[in-house]
Structure 1
């Protein structure tokens, strides 16, 4: 009799579980996989942007010890950890793969060796569990993440994406429609920061030993006793467009470091006594450059009436958006032109599975790129974010009266550090 009761209870429990999955989990759920560079990320989101489960494996320390990202090593580490990362995110969500509506995966742009791991594994999951595949553009995902945490953010809005591989200004018109106003013509700012941090040997100091180059430079700059000691020229001052360039600035800073090393006769493993002021001067130059291009973009947008006053939002995202010095200057430009600066939280500015899952949600809602047949989808090293109107911006030949950054200089000089986040 007792065993019969146990079997009945068990059957009712199973029926309840089946009912629960068949009703509550009819809401759409998207799993996102990110492997565009050196982070293996995964997350499960619902359509409200609720993060049900997430997992991230960072390769940062491996590449830090090697002086930069090594693509074959990044690929092998992705391959080694992707299954664990994905299953951890799903387990944390309390779901199973059959509960998912679709799987979104970064397929472009990025390191081909890294992208290949995520793309292949995502396709495998879609075939095995018979789920739609949503290919994701990495930079569009960065641009749209702010809409997950700021739900009243409507299209169109202005986007500044700054990272170790990209720097661009664009107008986000929809989840899949972007207008490119300007892009970097050489090296991205995050890459330059890492290179200069290595050249300054910041990792030889214990407090910076496990920090990224950009973060180490930010902390060092905040300790500067004379931020204006080294004034580096602002790039592209005579070019009336919205493109970016950081290679020349990199060369100027490198020459300054060499001069300072000779001046102080530093040993190969020693750090310059002027390191904090060099970092401050470098970040000041980057901030001016970004502010000039942003100001021209805003004036061009006003002239063409591309964004209505009620949509005057500048979203800043990407790894460099974690920096808390640069946005202080950018916010001055935003205030002058009636824009609100929006930054996602730092953990969502760097590469992660959440932004890929959210872009999957955006694309599902927009009915764009949700594929049942995905055999033809491949990964791509390079991919434009949208239609380029860079030539139109150049032909407009806008001569700007630059907004003064005196307030920003005072903030830096006084060592103040503000955060402009959502």
Structure 2
């Protein structure tokens, strides 16, 4: 069990965290770039990299002021090395590399998606092996088999876009602003209330949904996501819609995405029975999705483990949680170099 200092800069969140045993967060200051990117409706990579460069030093200083550290106090420094925006990753990597040299400890490179799954450790849970891991974020929508620390195998990926990106683009189409996920969820909840239904009664409106099922003919032996078609369908509907119809479009669009995710997870569980499901990533902050996943796993009698909302989106504490797994197992992380590739590699003994 160790004390780790972690850095996160894969996209638009600048994070530094001091975490004990990969579970107890001592300090985790975070700078969100949402306000900076909002005028553009999405992430501007060069702006993201510059913000990381500006913010890492004051964030680290904040931790060291409250918790002075000297060489010998830490067990390791951890940093996200893939996948992500290469320029942004590079800023975090160089910062972490300097910290590791200063504190005279090993530098552990962390796969961003492994970090999302390891975030459940910050919420009092443990990664149970073997398990199924589902990542739903702005850049990734996939399900994996988790055999052990550093042993991850893809079950099904997206053919095109990711769930989080589909929600952001929908919010742009509906002119709801950025980031899109919370805006879509808010409009959907408003529509449900207007119709006189309670939270959890969304299925009662399913027959009215104007959007087609996504990959309706997907065989039960396959796990595959796709979100480009539903975006196109929304665009066409919006072109002919009145402003007062926006909440309804948000509601039915969100519900189709939730149904698609739930159906894919059901397929994955059928192919990998009796494995607990670890679901993580920023899209898991959506409460409609959480309820639907919980209902499915309860029906199929498999445990569902999800991080607290504060650990669903990108943060440095989850990077430390993942690095601690390698540290505890005495394994060397294979993610020593910066890459935009989201593929996994086997851990080294």
TM-score when normalising by structure 2? 0.90
Q: CA deviation at 1:235?
A: 1.5
1:268-417 → structure 2 map (5 Å cutoff)? 272-302=243-273, 309=274, 312-369=275-332, 377-385=336-344
Q: 1:234 is matched with which residue: 193, 208, 213? A: 213
Q: CA deviation at 1:370?
A: 5.9
> CA distance change for structure 1 residues 327 and 386 in 2, over 3 Å: closer, same or farther?
farther
**Which residue in 1 is equivalent to 2:201?**
none
Are positions 1:36 and 2:3 aligned together? no
Q: Does the CA-based 8 Å contact 1:38-1:69 persist in structure 2?
A: yes
Tell me the distance in 1 between the aligned counterparts of 2:345 and 2:309: 25
**Which residue in 2 is equivalent to 1:258?**
239
Tell me the distance in 2 between the aligned counterparts of 1:316 and 1:40: 23
Point out the more displaced range, 243-252 or 90-99: 90-99
> CA distance change for structure 1 residues 195 and 100 in 2, over 3 Å: closer, same or farther?
same
Q: 2:190 is matched with which residue: 197, 202, 223? A: 223
Q: 1:53 is matched with which residue: 27, 32, 51? A: 27
Q: CA deviation at 1:98?
A: 4.3
Are positions 1:162 and 2:141 aligned together? no
Q: CA deviation at 1:237?
A: 2.0
- Give 3-state SS (helix, strand or coil) of 1:202's partner: coil
Provide Cα deviations, 1:184-207, integer angstroms capped at 9, x if missing partner: 11111111111111121113xxxx
Tell me the distance in 2 between the aligned counterparts of 1:244 and 1:252: 16
Provide Cα deviations, 1:257-289, integer angstroms capped at 9, x if missing partner: 1111xxx3xxxxxxx211111111011101111
Provide Cα deviations, 1:33-60, integer angstroms capped at 9, x if missing partner: 0000000001111116111121101101
Tell me the distance in 1 between the aligned counterparts of 2:151 and 2:333: 16
Bigger Rg over Cα: 1
> CA distance change for structure 1 residues 187 and 42 in 2, over 3 Å: closer, same or farther?
same
TM-score when normalising by structure 1? 0.75
> CA distance change for structure 1 residues 104 and 152 in 2, over 3 Å: closer, same or farther?
closer
1:57-96 → structure 2 map (5 Å cutoff)? 57-96=31-70
Count matched residues: 332
| Stretches of structure 1 lacking an aligned partner (at least 5 in a row) | 1-26, 204-210, 265-271, 303-308, 388-422
| Stretches of structure 2 lacking an aligned partner (at least 5 in a row) | 196-204
Q: 1:104 is matched with which residue: 68, 78, 97? A: 78
Question: Structure with the greater relative contact order (CA < 8 A, sep ≥ 6): 1 or 2?
Answer: 2
- Give 3-state SS (helix, strand or coil) of 1:283's partner: helix
> CA distance change for structure 1 residues 48 and 75 in 2, over 3 Å: closer, same or farther?
closer
Tell me the distance in 1 between the aligned counterparts of 2:260 and 2:163: 11
Q: CA deviation at 1:94?
A: 4.4
Tell me the distance in 2 between the aligned counterparts of 1:61 and 1:355: 23
